[in-house]
Structure 1
Amino acid sequence: MAEAFLIGENMTGGYGKSGPDILHDCTVAVEPGEIAVIVGPNGAGKSTAMKAVFGMLSLRRGAVRLDGEDITALSPQERVRKGMGFVPQNQNIFASMSVEENLEMGAFIREDDIGETMEQVYDLFPILRDKRRQAAGELSGGQRQQVAVGRALMTKPKVLMLDEPTAGVSPIVMDELFDRIIEIARTGLPVLMVEQNARQALAIADKGYVLVQGANAHTGTGKELLADPDVRRSFLGG
């Protein structure tokens, strides 16, 4: 079998050099054009798995590979240059800067013309075009998330990683964000996402990973996991 485009394989590790392991042989992967979703109960290690893939946590065992290249030893900054776009759950915008300035900051590693990518972001999130001169901190929660995702897209990443993109937004805004994420994946960009709203996230997922205590408990397509009696009973409320 050909290896996945992005894979965090058999990841074991925790925070700090002497901290306990939070991840235990955890594997997550995503292919071009796919949406892969990591779900599970609180404290399952979902965001930790995402941070491990992005290099914010040192692995004691396992590896991370992007497009066939082993990037396990690279810093988060180096991984961005290799093509990772990462949107953290918190503090993911520059509140005092305008929407447009936030997007420009996303393109800091680029030396080519960013105008076309800016237009693509505005086409994806039309409200940002309308509010491009407004301070990002004045926007609604959903609009701020659009700024954060747009800023990650400005790097022209090879893969987009989203940590709890719908945290704290209304169900209507969540549906809109998920629609945009589907649009992004349809362009061929792989999307790896951690999400608390498990049922809704699995409904749009090509692939799903249910983590429990930092380990893979269930893996399958979104439809398979939604239909799995054990997953439904344990994680989806029956």
Structure 2
Amino acid sequence: MYLVGEGMTGGYGGGDILRDCTIGVEKGEIAVIVGPNGAGKSTAMKAMLGMLRLRLGSVVLDGKNITTLSPQARVAEGIAFVPQTNNVFTGMSVEENLEMGAYLRRDDISGTMEQVFALFPILKEKRRQAAGELSGGQRQQVAVGRALMTRPTVLMLDEPTAGVSPIVMDELFDRILEVRDTGLAILMVEQNARQALNIADRGYVLVGGENWRTGTGHELLANPEVRKSFLGG
């Protein structure tokens, strides 16, 4: 797999939050991590980003072992992360937010900016507006757009639809599908399990920091145990 966290075990000081947990994603694919609150979903993603020291296990990106690399070094290797909150500079314009995403680049960023505007037309329309004045869904588009300015090969999203309306959630998922179709590997943690599995090529259900069920999004949606436990029947 293009990015895989294999047998990840670890936590923050006390006990292990993750126990022999394996999560992976291919290029051109959306992998979704779902499960109850406290299942270790965000922790698994943070471990793959290098924000959590693993006691056991490894993280491999495109055949390269990145287990000991810092989060910054992983970003330089092509991983972009969009946190759930505080993910835009509210006092800056949309365009300035996107420029901030490319601060490590030394080449011409205008082509990438045009690609972001093509994916998110509303951002082109509002590019001079302060990000803080935008709606929640539009801010999320700014946050994803800023991440794409680094030209990543992997995009990690931590609950991208938290706190937005169902209509906005559908629109965000449509945009995420378009990003996937550009060939990126997308890994996301999502509370809206049913909707997320609906667009997932690969799904991981975590319980207690362990893999409970794994399959395609449609397999998991059709699984009676998954439906009963997480999807309200």
Would you call these one fold, judging by a TM-score over 0.5? yes
TM-score (norm 2): 0.99
Residues in 2 aligned to 1:10 and 1:101: alpha-carbon distance in whole angstroms? 40
Residue number in structure 1 paired with 2:72 = 77
1:65 has 2:60 as partner: yes
The one of 206, 218, 223 equivalent to 1:228 is 223
Partner of 1:115: 110
Instruction: Work out which of the residue numbers 26, 32, 40 in structure 2 matches 1:37.
Output: 32
- What is the match of residue 84 of structure 2? 89
Q: How many residues align?
A: 233
AA paired with 2:65? D
The correspondence for 1:7, drawn from 1, 4, 7, is 4
Deviation, 1:68, is: 0.6
Is residue 127 of structure 1 aligned with residue 119 of structure 2? no
Match in the other structure for 2:197: 202
Structure 2 counterpart SS, 1:65:
strand
Scaled by the length of structure 1, the TM-score of the pair is 0.97
The one-character-per-residue Cα deviations of 1:22-60 (angstroms, maximum 9, x if unpaired) are 000111000010000000011111011111110111100
- RMSD (CA atoms): 0.6
CA distance in 1, matches of 2:213, 2:45: 17
What amino acid is aligned across from residue 10 of structure 2 in structure 1?
Answer: G
Are 1:156 and 2:123 an aligned pair? Answer: no
Counterparts of 2:22 and 2:155, CA distance in 1: 17
Amino acid at match of 1:50: M
Residue 108 of structure 1 and its aligned partner are, at CA, apart by: 1.0
Q: Report the Cα distance in structure 1 between the residues aligned to 2:16 and 2:89, rounded to whole angstroms.
A: 33
Distance across 2 between alignment mates of 1:10 and 1:135: 43
**Aligned amino acid, residue 145 of structure 1:** Q
Identical positions, percent? 76
1:193 to 176, 188, 192: 188
- Counterpart among 2, 9, 20 of residue 25 in structure 1: 20
Partner in structure 1 of residue 133 of structure 2: 138
Deviation per residue, 1:117-138 (Å, 9 max, x gap): 0000011111111111111111
Report the CA distance between 1:19 and its aligned residue: 2.1
Question: Quick one: which amino acid aligns to residue 206 of structure 1?
Answer: D
Give the unaligned 5+ runs of structure 1: none
The answer to whether structure 1 residue 168 and structure 2 residue 163 are counterparts is yes
Structure 1 residue matching 2:14: 3-state secondary structure? coil
Q: Which amino acid aligns with 2:11?
A: G
Give the counterpart of 1:219 among 207, 214, 218. 214
Structure 1 counterpart of 2:132, one-letter code: G
Which whole-Å CA distance do the structure 2 matches of 1:156 and 1:233 have between them?
40
Question: AA paired with 2:99?
Answer: E
What is the SS of the residue equivalent to 2:36?
A: coil
